Amino acid sequence: MAMKTCIDHQFDAEIFIPALLQTYDRLAGNANFHGLKPLPQMLVIGEICNELLELMFPGRCGRERRGLSLEQILLQQLEQVGSVLKGQIMLAYQHEDPSLDRTDALVRADQVVRSVSALLPQIRLELKKDVQAGYDGDPATRTVREVVLSYPYIKSLTTHRIAHELFKMEVPLIPRMMSEYAHSETGIDIHPGAKIGSSFFIDHGTGTVIGETTVIGDNVKLYQGVTLGALSFPKDGCGSLIRGVKRHPSLEDNVTVYANATILGDITIGRNSIIGSNVWIKDSVAPNTMVTIAEPQMTIREIHHTAKRPVS
């Protein structure tokens, strides 16, 4: 029986592989990766994101490092994660430009890693403000450490704030892979192009979506399920999408957006405004404004239960 199964499988493969092969327009290019140089790997990108989180908040992962000073720990961590990140960026550059040799790609990747490393002190200061915003904005948390260790938005924002810098440096592939890894881990989907101000807090976080050209001011708070998306996608005369134009909302300082609100298009939510749950907004909102939907009409009736007949 086992031999027959093996033979049947081989026979099927001889039929289906040629048909499958015909679906590939060309071996290298478009969605086909066969024949290309090695690509960045999501598994490695995920490890990089986790190690960057450990770099920003040493000890978060509980790793034993007895006998080392904080300076030594930071140096060791930065060297390790920087080396792996450089290798992945090199692969991304070679994928973008197949004519680029390994040496030139490595030089470019090294310059990027050095530039990002120089920004890490400022990024960490921003993350400390984000942590404090979570502590100040959620009465359910007892300590700042609880926010760092357990709140998903910190993992998401740590990844985003670094991926955003790589995005601005026009590093191919890597920023989006980082954001999608954070999305898979936290349920929070932030495009690396989004600009996010200081003291940002996403409460709960699951299902939150922040589009590429979104601009968020300081002291903004979002709840779960909030969408900051595009209303429509502009196209050129040939019907192709026009990329890079502003198509997502801008939220000014001190805005709060409650659960499952949907805000679409290149509009502005004015400072100090409050957006209630489940609203759908397509037009700009003036500063100091509260937007809510009408209270739904509730129907309450008594349920009469009938006795169940015993099973004979």
Fold annotation for 35-187 = serine acetyltransferase, domain 1 (1.10.3130)
Averaged over successive runs of 10 residues, the pLDDT of the chain (312 residues) comes to 51 77 68 74 97 94 84 95 98 94 97 98 98 97 96 98 98 98 98 98 97 98 98 73 87 98 98 98 98 90 80 64
Q: Is 131 helix (H, G, I), strand (E, B) or coil?
A: helix
The residue ranges of every structural domain in the chain are: 35-187, 194-312
Q: Among residues 95, 99, 106, 87, which one has the least CA distance to residue 28?
A: 95
Output the six-digit token pair for 11. Answer: 């026979």
Q: Among residues 230, 222, 136, 140, which one has the least CA distance to residue 191?
A: 230
* CB atoms near residue 305 (< 10 Å): 5
Q: Is 235 helix (H, G, I), strand (E, B) or coil?
A: strand
Q: What is the pLDDT of residue 49?
A: 98
Q: Kindly give the interhelix angle for 102-137 and 152-168, rounded to the nearest 10 degrees.
A: 140
* 272 Ramachandran zone, left/alpha/beta (phi>0; psi -120 to 50): left
Query: What secondary structure letter does DSSP report for 188?
Result: -
Domain 194-312 has CATH 2.160.10.10: yes
**Dist CA 198 CA 128 (whole Å):** 9
Q: Among residues 12, 124, 8, 109, which one has the least CA distance to residue 60?
A: 124
**pTM of the full predicted structure?**
0.88
User: Do 194-312 and 35-187 have the same topology in CATH?
Assistant: no
**Dist CA 134 CA 128 (whole Å):** 10
* CB atoms near residue 250 (< 10 Å): 20
Q: What is the pLDDT of residue 1?
A: 47
Three-state secondary structure string covering 6-61: HHHHHHHHHHHHHHHHCCCCCCCECCECCCCCCCCCHHHHHHHHHHHHHHHCCCCC
Residue indicated by tokens 């936290």 = 186
